[in-house]
Amino acid sequence: MKKIWISLVCLVAFCSSMNAQKEDPSGLYKLQRFRFENGQDDMVVQYDQYKYCGDTIALQLDIRNKTAEMLNISTRRNDSKPLKYTGKQSKGEGEHATEVFDSNKKHFTLRWYNTHSTYSIFPDESFINEVYDSEKGVDPRMEHLMEMLMMKGEKLDNKFAGCWRRVGVFDELDGFTYVFQNVAEMHKIYDGEHVVLVIGASDNNPLMETTMIFWPCTYVSDTNIKEFQNDCQITWLTDDSFKLRFDRGDGMMVDELWKRSGLPHGFQRLFGTNEPVFELIDPLSR
């Protein structure tokens, strides 16, 4: 009888373990290695590539540059749909659908087919397995970055708390000061000791190709903050807007107008936030 009970416990544990490998990927994972199916040895990844798996899509994040204080990240939407568990399926000739298996909160494997024209570092006409893990080698700053994008970072008790959108840059023409708006889309999220710059985020960017820069921020006062190496002077226009002045590095002073605003709607759906979005409206269209 005792052996039967032990067998039943083992069976239940095995079934639970198997079911735990069939969850949809959710959250942040780091690419560990490529596994091939042609007898070639695994390729251990020598660079930092992540995927953030959300309910709407999966966003790829590649670290282009990093120091002890700063991360420079490029993002891209490579998958048109969210990554969902499919299981590893037997395929007939000509069947090349992407698969997700061995999947739970800690890891998953993404299997896709490489044609001769895709990437030269991979074997032609063969399935490629990307192995991801949510713990191994993950930079804690990446986890902090994701918390900030989800508006779950350390709360501030000063006026900078939250997310902001750059409206434009102040310029002067014939003695008249105006705001030049034809500049790259830029948002900032402030938390306790860091700021995230999100460059290029807009609802007109379906591939979500952006640059994100994560660096330290020191709040000297409500009128002076230090963002990485930039000493920024602040002039508050209202509680929801300010002018930021800094030296761009060559002695030329830049004055930017910032307005409180959440990230574009597509990014908010991905990160599960619902912050009000400031929209620029052509005054002649009102």
The pLDDT mean for the chain works out to 88
Tell me if 21-138 shares its fold with 141-281. yes
| Residue 187 burial by Cβ neighbours in a 10 Å radius (0-12, 13-18, 19+) | buried
Beta strand 210-221 pairing with 58-66: unpaired
Q: Which CATH architecture best describes the domain 21-138?
A: Beta Barrel (2.40)
Calculate mean pLDDT across residues 82-104: 83
In this structure, which amino acid lies at residue 5? W
Q: CATH number for 141-281: choose from 3.30.70.1350, 2.60.40.10, 3.40.50.2300, 2.40.128.280.
A: 2.40.128.280
Tokens at 264, concatenated: 């574009």
Helix (H), strand (E), coil (C) string for 241-276: EEEEEEECCCCCEEEEEEEECCCCHHHHHHHCCCCC
Least confident of 20-24, 97-101, 106-110: 20-24
pLDDT surpassing 70 at residue 10: no
Calculate mean pLDDT across residues 161-174: 92
DSSP string of the chain, one letter each residue = -HHHHHHHHHHHHHHHHHHHTBSPP-EEEEEEEEEESSSPPPEE--S-EEEEE-SS-EEEEEEEEE-SS-EEEEEEEEESS-----------TT----EEESBSSSEEEEEEEE-TTS-TTS-SSEEEEEEEESSTT--HHHHHHHHHHTT-SPPPSSTT-EEEEEEEEEEEETTEEEEE--S--EEEEE-SSEEEEEES--TT-TT--EEEEEEEEEEEETTEEEETTEEEEEEEEETTEEEEEEE-SSS-EEEEEEEE-PPPHHHHHHHT----------GGG-
Nearest in space to 31 (alpha carbons), one of 138, 132, 143, 139: 132
- Measured CA to CA, the distance from residue 215 to residue 226 in angstroms comes to 10
Domain boundaries of the chain, sorted by first residue: 21-138, 141-281
Which of the four pLDDT bands, split at 50, 70 and 90, describes residue 117?
low
Is 62:73 a contact under the CB 8 Å cutoff? yes
- Measured CA to CA, the distance from residue 236 to residue 243 in angstroms comes to 6
Residue 93 pLDDT: 56
74 phi and psi, to 5 degrees? -105, 140
State the pTM of this model.
0.86
Least confident of 21-25, 72-76, 238-242: 21-25
Is 213:196 a contact under the CB 8 Å cutoff? yes
- Measured CA to CA, the distance from residue 223 to residue 234 in angstroms comes to 4
**Higher pLDDT among residues 280 and 134, named by residue:** 134
